[in-house]
Amino acid sequence: MLSPDLGRVVLRIATFLVVVSLGLLVTVDPGTAEHVVTVITLIVGVLLGGLVVFLVRK
């Protein structure tokens, strides 16, 4: 259902979002707006990666 090239690109974007978000979680203070945005970005990256894996294996 998902072409291999498109899946690879989207998976790289999801990996980038997850890696950057995890790096930022170490540096930002909890309870700030940056922390909330970083957590949301981490969740979006994980969900996007899971969706790509699901669609490629389907």
Give start and end residues of each alpha helix (H) in the chain: 4-27, 33-57
In this predicted structure, what is the pLDDT of residue 43?
Answer: 98
57 within a domain of the structure (yes/no): no
**For the chain, percent helix, then strand, then coil, each to nearest 5?**
85, 0, 15
Residue corresponding to tokens 């989207």: 10
Phi, psi of 44 (to 5 degrees): -65, -40
Which residue segment(s) compose the domain that 38 sits in? Answer: 4-52
29 within a domain of the structure (yes/no): yes
Q: Which residues, in sequence order, are CB contacts of 2 under 8 Å at separation 6+?
A: 52, 55, 56, 58
Question: What is this structure's pTM?
Answer: 0.88
23 within a domain of the structure (yes/no): yes
In this predicted structure, what is the pLDDT of residue 38?
Answer: 96
Number of domains the chain contains:
1
40 within a domain of the structure (yes/no): yes
45 within a domain of the structure (yes/no): yes
In this prediction, the residues of the chain whose per-residue pLDDT falls under 70 are: none
44 within a domain of the structure (yes/no): yes
